[in-house]
Amino acid sequence: MEQTVFKTTTGTITLKQDVLHFRRVLEKNNFRSHSFLLFVVLIVGNLLIYMDKTLPTNADKFKLLSRTVILLIWMFPHLEYTFNWLFRFTWKNRIKLSAIQSVEKMETVNELECGVRLRLRNGRVKEVLFRIEEGYAEKLLSLFEPHGIALQ
């Protein structure tokens, strides 16, 4: 049983019998979910206050409505990330090579990292980051050529 291991920035990818196994060792420590929940609570609280019939003037209602709109604009990047996380990215830790439609190399903001985006046949995407110095991204990309997977 031949195994090929690729080290990523957060874990490893192991190829066993035409199946990629993703193992995450380090968790990304981003606080998007916490700030997203905070914004949702603030907006719901503002809307509940706005719906309250005891507000004395229309000026108070306008302040609450404008604050809610500002919070919605501030929350938009979090909504986009949440939508992608729920509906666009795949959560699978095992992906068969036959399920991969195409592969492309991604440019990242960081000069020390590069990414590989795997597009699956069901429309979902799996993105993996590699360190450029180690060269695992090129090794992974060269793995897909014999299997007839399109490189973009």
Q: What is the pLDDT of residues 12-39, one digit of tens each?
A: 999 998 899 999 886 665 666 677 777 7
CB of 117 closer than 8 Å to CB of 103: yes
Taking residues 120-136, what's their average pLDDT? 90
Residues 37 and 24 in one domain: no
Confidence of residue 150 (pLDDT cuts 50, 70, 90): confident
Q: Which residue has the higher pLDDT, 132 or 80?
A: 132
Classify the C-alpha dihedral 8-10-14-20 as positive or negative.
Answer: negative
Q: Give the amino acid at 30.
A: N
Q: Which residue has better confidence, 130 or 76? A: 130
Residues of the chain with pLDDT > 90, as a percent, come to 17
Nearest-angstrom CA–CA distance, 63 and 124: 41
Q: How large is the angle between the packed helices 58-83 and 32-51, nearest 10 degrees? A: 150
Q: Tell whether 40 and 113 lie within a shared domain.
A: no
Query: How many Cα atoms within 13 Å fall on the side-chain side of residue 123?
Result: 4
The Cα–Cα gap between 30 and 118 comes to: 22
Tokens describing residue 80: 């986009």
> In this predicted model, which residue has the larger pLDDT, 94 or 143?
94
Q: Could you give the percent of the chain with pLDDT greater than 70?
A: 89
Domain count, the chain: 2
Note whether 55 and 65 are within 8 A (CB): no
Indicate if 98 and 64 belong to the same structural domain: no
Shared domain for 75 and 46, answered yes or no, is: yes
Domain boundaries, position 69: 33-87
Q: Is the pLDDT of residue 1 over 60?
A: no
CA 151 to chain centre: 21
Q: What backbone torsions phi and psi does residue 138 show, to the nearest 5 degrees?
A: -65, -40
Query: Where is pLDDT greater, at 82 or 87?
Result: 87
Domain termination residue (choose one: 50, 67, 87): 87
For position 92, what pLDDT does the model report?
86
